[in-house]
Amino acid sequence: MSSTVSRRRFLKISAGTFGAAAAAGAAWHGAWPLAVAADGATQGVTTIPTFCEMCFWRCGGIAHLRDGKLWKFEGNPLDPQSMGRLCPRGTGAVGAHYDPDRLRQPLIRSSERGEEKWKTATWDEALAYIAERMNKIKAEHGPESVALLNHGFGQRFFQHVLKTWGVINIAGASYAQCRGARDVGYVLTYGAGVGSPEPTDIRSTDCLVLIGSHLGENMHNSQVQEFAQAIERKASVIVVDPRFSVAASKAKYWLPVKPGTDLALLLAWANLLVTEGRYDKAFVERYGHGFDKFVAEIKAYTPQWAAEQCDISAELIQAAAREFANHRPRAIIHPGRRVNWYGDDTQRSRAIALLNALLGNYGREGGMFVAQGVKVAPFGLPAYPKSDKPHADGSGADEFPFADEGITTSIRKATLTGKPYPIKGWFVYSSNLMQALPNERETIEAIRKLDLLVVCDTMPSEIAGWADVVLPDTTFLERHDELLTGYGRTGWISLRQPVVAPPHDQKPAWWIAKQLADKLGIGDCMPFKDLEEYLAKRITASGLSWEQLKRDGVIMGKHQPTTVEEGLELSFETPSGKVEFWSDQLAKAGFDPVPKYRRHPDAPPGHFRLITGRAPGHTFSRTQTNPLLHDLMPENEVWVHPETAASLGIRNREYVKLKNQDGVLSNRIRVKATQRIRKDTVYMVYGFGHGNRMLKRAYLRGASAGALNTHYATDPIMGATSIHTNFVSFVKEA
Ligand code: SF4
């Protein structure tokens, strides 16, 4: 049996696998056994476990085939992420397989970039074309001038092959456009990031505080299930959100703060806890670093002061703080996930981390447990060559001293400026950069400077519309992938295995990467016939049963203590070895050692702050054309307060357009006039308003929040780019 391992330790030892941050191998049956079996086994209902990638929560599910055809996808009861249930998107995975809009065969551009005109190609032609242009870039500028922009599980194979070839600039929007600031805020405070899934013991907590985190609309499956359990147990819920979210409807206290003032609220809460002595003194004395200096820094942030900033009453601020403080340590200020709001997000995340420290909830039941993983034997892949050049992806650079992953917009900037050296090729895997990155115009300008843009995806996203070569990936139901080594209360391993054959000439990411490696003359870096060989070797070498994993989809590790109550010894990998209420490393780098509040600009006259969020039936901009999920929610709406709507002469349900402060006009979007939002704020779900004509069902349905995000701030600590720094006015349809 494999031994367990903490997340921090695992990151250090995971060399020799595909992707240092997420572990081990994937297997390949060599064919599509269920769809092609000639012995009658395809008749009737067959079930095969695999794990979901309709989003990146990675729930274990069981695919059902009826007479050899994909029928339904349900939760795997053995799996800790799904606990036997999937969210609506996971159930809708069947629609991803049958979607008529999906990419079907390799395409090579036949006219100007962005005109969406291609000729079909064989895999051999498409990969030879890519290899030839990559080698040309390498000869002229070096391999560092090709960058990989990626997301999702299949990215590990491209990371491996491209790193072997000499690529060093790699970034995913999941970092600077999502969770990165949160993890850096926690690393600076506790010495470890939060990770995914967040180790929040919601199922046992007595009080959950959500700040701009709308669980239930944001459908992270196991977390939402635990949230429902907590509500059932009558745990106290406090929601901070300018919008009365579904979560707010379950709350004891709803704090509809003015957008952009969350940090003022957090600092006032910290002030109250300290002033009234409602914090865990034993935890702070034993594990805190710089607490006295922290107390002095937050002295001015009284609830009365915050009330003015946040536009809510001081009494509400105080009542909420006393509520969660009185439940300590069985209380959680949720660290959030997509936290790139205003450009000061690392400091806001640090303030959340420090409030949690005041509650003494680290490694405690009902608080934040310390997640455990499972160690799996490496395959023993070759090491990567070293480069003398600096990174152009912002990681480890002076520009963002605490960035510990690549930054998408830094790669874009290097492409635009040619500094520190030209970036001439982008390989984009499963990431619709047009909607994910701020300021679409900068992305288009950068693309115009490229000699090669490759997009590999299942769907024709907007970025695919600009590609020189488009490679059709299989959906997760049609492929093997790297093993999932999950971190949680108990570590686990999940297998992704093919359930059905792809309907056209789509190929799995591992196969594409392996073929590309052959074309680039580095085929030795994928030293196996297929992924089954790779996966089976790793599982067997770990003392685990390959047959069991294929049958169950999941193998649980041995439980290790994750809380003090279970015997966990706390330790912190910060410079002081303690929880850093005062950060010497931030001070040394010229940043505030304790978060400070700075007011964000108000909306110009006639404008409203645009805030964005998620819907339970869709993931980013990936699912709007899925026939099943499109039925659930075909387009987004713009939420506006009825009094605001009336003052503008706008009616509920009518279509309008939104124009932002830079004059960018959205596609038309329906008005939802509702008292569930502040009068100075409007809200929409992002991911809609697709402009790629190949997405027939989703084309121009709803408006794109990404396209309206032209004005953005960049977090100076780690490079996150904001999404809530735009103001819009309403334009009535003619
Ligand atoms: Fe799939 Fe939903 Fe789980 Fe995401 S949360 S992995 S979409 S079931």
Cα(704) to ligand 1 centroid in Å equals: 23
3 state SS of 108: strand
Dist CA 93 CA 496 (whole Å): 14
- The predicted pLDDT at position 25 comes to 29
Cα of 291 vs centre of ligand 1, distance in Å, is 40
pLDDT computed for residue 29 by the predictor: 29
Under DSSP, the state recorded for 724 is: S
pLDDT at 153: 93
DSSP letter for each residue of 321-377 = HHHHHHTTTSEEE---S---SSS-HHHHHHHHHHHHHHHT-BT-TTSB---EEE---
**What separation in Å is there between the alpha carbon of 619 and the centre of ligand 1?**
9
Q: Are 229 and 619 in contact, with CB atoms under 8 Å apart?
A: no
**β pairing state of 236-240 and 207-211:** parallel
* Separation of alpha carbons 404 and 214, rounded Å: 27
How high is the pLDDT of residue 18? 61
Token pair recorded at residue 666: 């959205």
Token pair 């039925």 in the structure block, residue? 631
Whole-number Å distance, alpha carbon 85 to ligand 1 midpoint, is 9
Atom of ligand 1 nearest to the CA of 75: 8
Residue partners of 275: CB distance under 8 A and separation at least 6? none
Which phi and psi angles does 325 have, rounded to 5°?
-65, -35
Closest atom of ligand 1 relative to the 61 alpha carbon: 8
What contacts 549, CB < 8 A, 6 or more positions away? 493, 495, 539, 555
Dihedral of CA 644/647/652/657: which sign?
negative
Name the residue of 82, 94, 481, 629 to mutate for ligand 1: max ligand atoms within 8 A of Cβ.
82
H or E segment and range at residue 35: helix 33-36
- Pick from 53, 55, 174, 196 the residue to mutate for probing ligand 1's pocket: most ligand atoms within 8 Å of its CB: 55
Tell which residue, 317, 234, 172, 318, has the closest CA to residue 720: 172
Write the CB contacts of 145 (distance below 8 Å, at least 6 apart in sequence): 137, 138, 421, 422, 423, 424, 425
Extract the tokens encoding 24.
Answer: 């081990």
Distance from residue 219's CA to the centre of ligand 1 (Å)? 7
Say which DSSP state 633 is in. Answer: -
Instruction: Report CA(81)–ligand 1 centroid distance (Å).
Output: 9
Distance 526 CA to ligand 1 centre (A): 30
* CA 223/CA 215 separation, integer angstroms: 8
Ligand 1 centroid–CA 87 distance in Å is 6
Tell me the CA distances in angstroms from 250 to 199, 221, 242, 259, one per residue in order. 22, 18, 15, 21
What pLDDT, on the 0 to 100 scale, is given for residue 163? 98
Which atom of ligand 1 lies closest to the CA of 57?
Answer: 6
pTM of the model: 0.94
Which of 50, 53, 54, 619 has the most ligand 1 atoms within 8 A of CB, as the residue to mutate? Answer: 54
74 CA from centroid of ligand 1 (Å): 11
**Interval between CA 273 and ligand 1 midpoint (Å):** 37
Atom of ligand 1 nearest to the CA of 221: 5
Burial degree of 441 (CB within 10 A; 0-12, 13-18, 19+): exposed
Q: Which residues contact 281 (CB under 8 A, 6 or more apart)?
A: none
Mark out the alpha helices in 168-232 (DSSP H runs). 173-174, 180-190, 221-232
Ligand 1 binding pocket mutation candidate from 81, 174, 221, 222 (most atoms within 8 A of CB): 221
Query: How far, in Å, from the CA of 90 to the mean position of ligand 1?
Result: 5
Q: What atom in ligand 1 is closest to the CA of residue 224?
A: 5
pLDDT at 666: 98
Burial 81-114 (b: 16+ CB within 10 A, else e): bbbebbbbbbbbbbbbbebebbbebbbbbeeebe
Q: What is the pLDDT of residue 645?
A: 98
For the CA atoms of 359, 362, 365, 368, the dihedral, rounded to the nearest 10 degrees, stands at 100
Binding-site residues, ligand 1, Cβ < 6 A: 52, 54-55, 57-59, 86-87, 89-90, 219-221
Give the distance (Å) from ligand 1 centre to CA of residue 27. Answer: 22
Centre of ligand 1 to C-alpha 358, Å, is 33
From residue 680, alpha-carbon distances to 60, 543, 603, 727 in Å are: 42, 59, 8, 10
21 alpha-carbon distance from chain centroid = 14
**CA gap 594, 609 in Å, rounded:** 28
Cα 321 from chain centre: 29
**Residue among 571, 553, 552 nearest 561 (CA):** 571
Kindly tell me the burial class for residue 584, based on how many C-beta atoms sit within 10 Å of its own C-beta (0-12, 13-18, 19 or more): middle
Q: Given the structure tokens 């899925």, which residue do they identify?
A: 626
Place of tokens 């006219």: 111
> pLDDT means per 10 residues in the chain (734 residues)?
37 42 29 41 86 97 96 98 97 97 97 92 98 98 98 96 98 97 98 97 98 93 97 98 97 98 98 98 98 98 98 98 98 97 98 98 98 96 95 86 97 98 98 97 98 98 96 98 97 98 98 98 97 97 98 97 98 98 98 98 97 96 96 98 98 98 98 98 97 94 97 98 98 86
- Mutate which of 57, 224, 225, 227 for ligand 1? The one with the most ligand atoms within 8 Å of its CB, which is 57
DSSP class of 431: -
**Three-class SS state of 499:** coil
**How far does the centroid of ligand 1 lie from the alpha carbon of residue 221, in Å?**
6
Q: Which residues pair with 356 in a beta bridge?
A: none
Q: Do 142 and 421 meet the contact criterion of CB atoms below 8 Å apart?
A: yes
List the structure tokens of 35.
């769809």
Taking Cα atoms as reference points, which of 308, 90, 337 lies closest to residue 214?
Answer: 337
What are the angstrom distances between the C-alpha of 56 and each of 436, 622, 692? 15, 12, 24
For residues 228 and 225, give the distance between their C-alpha atoms in angstroms, rounded to a whole number: 5
Q: Which atom of ligand 1 is nearest to the CA of 81?
A: 3
- A 10 A CB-CB count for 223 gives 22
Give the closest residue to 599 by CA, choosing from 267, 272, 299, 357.
267
Question: Which residue among 74, 79, 86, 218 has the greatest number of ligand 1 atoms within 8 angstroms of its CB, and so is best to mutate?
Answer: 86
Ligand 1, atom 3, lies closest to the CA of: 59
Integer Cα distance of 642 and 353 in angstroms: 37
For ligand 1, mutation pick of 74, 94, 219 (most atoms within 8 Å of CB): 219
Closest Cα to atom 4, ligand 1: which residue?
55
Residues 394/403, Cβ–Cβ less than 8 Å: yes
Which atom of ligand 1 is nearest the CA belonging to 58? 6
Ligand 1 atom at minimum distance from 82 CA: 3
